[in-house]
Amino acid sequence: MTDRYGVIGHPVAHSKSPVIHQMFARQTRQDISYETFDVPPDDLRAALKRFADDGIKGLNVTVPHKSAVCQFVDTLSGRARLAGAANTLIIHRDGKIEGDNTDGIGLVNDLTDDLGFTIEDARILILGAGGATRGIVPALLRDLPENLLIANRTAEKARSIASDFSELGRVSACQFNEIEGQQFDLVINATSAGLHGDVPPFPESILGADTICYDLSYAMADTPFVAWAKAHGCSEAYQGWGMLVRQAAESFYLWRGHQPDIHPVRRHLP
């Protein structure tokens, strides 16, 4: 019998996860199907029960459910608990749901293995203080950057995240307007502004000739952040396609026990 998997979000029709996981399945000869499920926030708890009752084996979780889903699962992995966010759900035979988070390791693997970036001793700026940021901060700090600064429109949320992870490494927080004049080796956009076609008010002075920019979002053309970064003189600017494939591979391994080769799948995407 074909095992069913899928991705939940709102909206979710644009997701490339079905393409990625079907390619993984063909590559590893796994008999699975993978669907998209648009789940409004007020239906999240009930939807998870329906999925478990329907025999679905696992789910990926995307915007806006990564943080909220944590309160509706039965158990959380250490990294999901640390992040306060889950992007992968494992639904066991007894209907119990386990939440995990593969975003951080997906980003780090893309940065280091695919893009050749060295995190150790780097000056890193994360723009935004939502669930996506919580998911990547622990993994980045594990590789010992010189400093990791979280900037947000309002400093309170950024400071909360920095405080939660302060024991893991050098992490601080501020408002967007306080990063003027500072320079970074890596700037990561973790805001959702690009989903609406906007670029938050980032001062262009944060970009130097050697600055690498990375947008957690992705699109068929340059995202607004990537276009902004290129226009203001960064060294390189990347969308989150590599992270998408890398985190998906980690999810697939959790579900199926097979580690797929990400490279042919990555070449299939922009």
Taking alpha carbons only, the member of 229, 256, 185 closest to residue 28 is 256
End position of a domain, from candidates 79, 101, 123: 101
Residues 204 and 126 in one domain: yes
pLDDT at residue 196, as a whole number: 67
Residues 63 and 121 in one domain: no
Q: For this structure, is 66 an active site residue?
A: yes
pLDDT at residue 270, as a whole number: 85
Q: In this structure, what CATH number is given to the domain that contains residue 19?
A: 3.40.50.10860
Question: Low-confidence residues of the chain, pLDDT below 50?
Answer: none
Please state, in angstroms and rounded to a whole number, the distance separating the CA atoms of residues 256 and 184: 39
Residues 59-91: tens digit of each pLDDT: 999 988 999 999 999 999 999 998 899 999 999
Half-sphere exposure in the Cβ direction for 27 (13 Å, CA): 18
Contacts of 113 (CB under 8 A, 6+ apart): none
Determine which one of 66, 96, 157, 230 is catalytic. 66
Residues 73 and 113 in one domain: no
pLDDT at residue 199, as a whole number: 76
- Number of domains observed in the structure of the chain: 2
Name the residue range of residue 197's domain: 104-242
pLDDT at residue 194, as a whole number: 61
The answer to whether 172 and 184 are in contact (CB under 8 A) is no
Q: Is the dihedral of CA 153, 157, 161, 162 positive or negative?
A: positive
Residues 87 and 20 in one domain: yes
pLDDT at residue 195, as a whole number: 62
Is 10 a member of any domain? yes
